[in-house]
Amino acid sequence: MTSDTFTRPVVAADAARPSTLIRSLPATVHEEAVRNPERTVLTALDRDGQTAEVLTWGELDREARALAADLRAVAAPGDRVLVPAMPDLRFHVAFLACLYSDLVAVPVPPIRPAGLRSAANGKRANRLDRLLAICADAEPVAAVVPGAVVDALAQVAAGEPVLRRMHLIAAEPRDTDNLVDVPGWVDSNEVAFLQYTSGSTAAPRGVVITHGAMLANQRIIAGHLQVTSESTVVSWLPVYHDMGLCAGLLQPLYVRAQAIVMAPETFMVRPERWLRAISGRHDVISPAPDFAYALCAARIEPEVRRELDLSGWRVALSGAEPVRAETMRAFIKAFAVSGLPETAPTAGYGLAESTLFVSGGRADEPLKVGRFDREELAHALASAAGPDAPAAEVVGCGATAAEVEVAVVDPVTFRRCRPGQVGEIWVDSPSNGVGYWGQQESSREIFAAELADEPGRGWLRTGDLGFLEEGELYVTGRLKDVVIIRGANYYPHDFERLVQASDPLLAGGIAAAFGEAGADSVTVVAEVARDVTEAEAQALTVAAARAVAEHLPVATGIVLVPRGRVPRTTSGKVRRGECATHLAQGTLPVLARWPRAAA
């Protein structure tokens, strides 16, 4: 399927978006390259936090246009090009080169030959399986990869029919005057890139993002968070996911700001590298998922905190996974000594199906945390908790951005929920994708849904649950993850949070909670931070079970496993269904259980 044959899925009375000519992102880059060719736009840091590569606007424009010329030689407009994460700034140049050459970029995780080879028993590596699935779906005609791995990748590709048709193009800079012309204007309905979802509740699918949607989302982000050319964006997020792509590349290019980027591994090994990149800078925008803030608060030593100057960090947005009030409170407390403004930490909501951003807190307002009656929430009602009632803290994800409307909808009747009622979050936004690549039926169901009593208007069904209160969006969980017991709804992250908070040895790991069909109970699989004895592990399960019982009226089993054994997506989201399958099949290395198995 080529981009000119992909049409927006429509329902009766739902017309396709009007096609208009809009100013292209490459035109913005080129204009800045002419005006300020020596001004720095992108800086990559190495694993020690030192500068590894710098690109000025002039260099970025020239390198992207040179690479685009090589891509044009092997691909036609609308063809897909695989763009894996690469060292330093090679991904950033390659993605932009696709936009310069009217090709559709397909961001994917790093392609390392060693990780793609099959095992001795003939079993394929997981990375290879995922890559093959994406390639079979998107049918890329080329891939931009580091020159050092071209030959090794060619050998792997020779054994896989779906990879053989791809031309492998080296990502390194070219010393050439063969540059493509700059596309000043672009059709808003032309496809810019395919964003493959991480697949926490389903197999990854390629969200079709048009140039119009891409630029609309950047406009929305810039306006809502007040990002300007004087801002500095700092990002360690994976560039093949929506938040990393928008924060680390698209937003700074759109507003003509400077970006400082580093590999995710740099942050994971030494979280302080992230904050040192922010330290001392003015008007910093730097988003991350909840676990990153928790990791910084837990692992960065007090003496390092005192060295940091975070007074210029204006927007510390938490998103991509449930935002925990206790995480943000701990982060604010830990880095007050670093000058972190109390208004910097905020929460946002978005998803790849809407390019990225849907709602977010304002940069000059403190984080909003609501205390809601836990029992009422279990019955899909959001009401303030009384002083003595069991309460659930839910972090507000801000108001919806300009141009965006959110509806809270009953997922059964397709009617708007009453005020204070929890329902599925539906989004109408100019940055919504137009569907999943090659999947017309599911695209129609997800991207062109209609309210039962408001026909003729297409909405994006997010699959997330939440509610609105005084214009603030509160997200409570995933529709597919909800565990229903005796008519009450329970959210997996509530169980996971209680287990992780029961002991420091469980706080730093990942947990996955899930129910079982026909059972009135929940199982929580949690990672232990370090090696423990059998007796210690058993004591941890007892403490965790007790912590859950004190807050939730649900029989809960606890299973402890070593660190790193709870399955996650490439973006770090928990694969609860896969975890349940591994547990049932006995393929998880269990350290201890509660209740104990019968002898």
pLDDT of residue 565: 87
Does some domain include residue 448? Answer: no
Residue 492: its pLDDT value, please? 82
pLDDT of the residue at 599: 44
For the cut 60, the answer to whether the pLDDT of residue 104 exceeds it is yes
Percentage with pLDDT > 90 across the chain: 57
Q: Which residue has the higher pLDDT, 66 or 383?
A: 66
Chain-wide mean pLDDT for the chain? Answer: 88
**Spacing of C-alpha 443 from chain mean position:** 20
Q: Which pair of structure tokens corresponds to residue 73?
A: 């030689």
Output the domain CATH number for residue 576. Answer: 3.30.300.30
Give the per-residue pLDDT at 487.
63
Domain of 507 in residue numbering reads as 482-594
Q: How far apart are CA 491 and CA 470, in angstroms?
A: 23
Q: Is residue 581 part of a domain?
A: yes
pTM (2 d.p.): 0.85
Band the pLDDT of 572: cuts 50, 70, 90. Answer: low
129-141: buried (b, 16+ CB within 10 Å) or exposed (e) per residue?
Answer: ebbbbbbebbbbb
Position 201 scores a pLDDT of 46
In a domain, 538, yes or no: yes
Residue 153 lies in a domain: no
Is the pLDDT confidence value at 280 over 60? Answer: yes
- Which residues, at least 6 apart from 436, have a Cβ–Cβ distance to it below 8 Å? 205, 206, 207, 208, 442, 443, 446
Contact 65, 97 (CB under 8 A): yes
Residue 384 has pLDDT above 60, yes or no: yes
Considering the domain boundaries, does residue 563 fall inside one? yes
Per DSSP, what are the bridge partners of residue 460?
427
Handedness of CA 62, 63, 68, 73 (dihedral sign): positive
User: Who wins on pLDDT, 73 or 585?
Assistant: 73
Asked whether 567 and 583 are in contact (CB, 8 A), the reply is: no
Q: How far apart are CA 448 and CA 428, in angstroms?
A: 10
Overall number of domains in the chain: 1
Burial class of residue 462 (count of CB atoms within 10 Å of its CB; 0-12, 13-18, 19+): buried
| pLDDT level of residue 153 (50, 70, 90 thresholds) | confident
pLDDT of residue 4: 37
Mean pLDDT, rounded, for 543-549 = 88
Q: Where does 328-380 show beta strands of DSSP type E?
A: 345-350, 357-360, 369-373
| Residues of the chain above pLDDT 70, percent | 92
171-177 mean pLDDT:
90
Assigned domain for 40 exists: no
Residue 131 is predicted with a pLDDT of 86
The model's pLDDT over 361-376, given as tens digits with 9 standing for 90+, comes to 987 888 999 999 888 8
Instruction: Give me the mean pLDDT over the 22-27 stretch.
Output: 96
Place of tokens 């005057």: 177
pLDDT value at residue 517 = 64
Token readout for 243 is 């938040």
Local confidence band at 537 (pLDDT 50, 70, 90 cut-offs): confident
> Does any domain span residue 522?
yes
What residues pair up with 513 in beta bridges, in sequence order? 524
From the list 103, 102, 83, the residue with the least C-alpha distance to 93 is 83
Which amino acid belongs to residue 215?
L
pLDDT at 5: 38
Q: What is the DSSP string of 316-333?
A: EEE-SSPPPHHHHHHHHH
pLDDT number for residue 117: 60
Dump pLDDT digits (tens) for 307-359: 999 999 999 999 877 888 888 999 999 999 999 999 999 999 999 999 999 99
Name the residue with higher pLDDT: 295 or 250.
250
pLDDT band at 7 (very low <50, low <70, confident <90, very high): very low
Contact in structure between 295 and 330 (CB atoms under 8 Å): no
The band of 124, judged by pLDDT with boundaries at 50, 70 and 90, is low
Q: Which residue has the higher pLDDT, 17 or 474?
A: 474
* Domain-embedded: residue 504: yes
